Amino acid sequence: MFKAVLFDAYGTLLDVDAAAAQLARTGRFPPLQEYWPELAAIWRSRQLNYTWLRSLSRSYKPFWEITSDALDYAMAALGLTDTDMREALLHLYRELAPYEDATIALEAVAAKGLPAAVLSNGNHEMLHTAFTAAGLMDRLDTLLSVEDVGIFKPAPEVYQLGLARYSARPEEILFVSSNGWDACAASQFGFRTIWANRVNMPTERLPKPPHHIVRDLTAIGQYL
């Protein structure tokens, strides 16, 4: 029996490509109409890489600052220098659109009488802004942030935050992430896990695979 369901935020409940896609659709910055998919991919990749490198080097800084650094790298890699574009992208990233299946998943958790929470690399202010804008705050019990332990996923200290919040054993937590490496790390920690494999990626070659693999969050209810 689960005590709570924890969701990753970025890429799981919130669409990390939405900022670049949305700005490209406005036509305000013509180069972005061509480059936005590549920009979004580099931005996300570098964002995650920086969290891992900063964890290894014990040089934590808030995820929002890392997100800004990663955007600077992505723009430089593509030869994009427009500072107005940069500010517009960061503004939109603060209020990323939720995936359509996010509400479905959270409703399924609520129907089982379980608390749903976020366990994220995002810092507290960033998460509160994002989930308020997404209209999901009233469906969430709490927002758990790595800011409280000063290290990023997949450090065990991060997953421990879920146990402390719910006075739970690892197997009493169901963890849901669209990041394969995150789901694997949570499995190794002892959580029951669901990997929402949105883009049909292969399973990571890590010690513990996810317990369940689904295409999107609409299937969560059957595992509660």
CA distance 42 to 71: 8
CA distance 206 to 221: 26
The strands making up 212-214's β-sheet, listed across from edge to edge, are 142-145, 116-120, 4-7, 173-177, 192-196, 212-214
For the record, the structure tokens of 4 come out as 């709570």
Which of these is catalytic: 8, 15, 101, 182? Answer: 8
8 catalytic residue (yes or no): yes
CA distance 214 to 163: 24
Q: Which residues pair with 173 in a beta bridge?
A: 4
For the record, the structure tokens of 161 come out as 């935050």
CA distance 57 to 201: 29
Indicate which residues carry an active-site annotation: 8
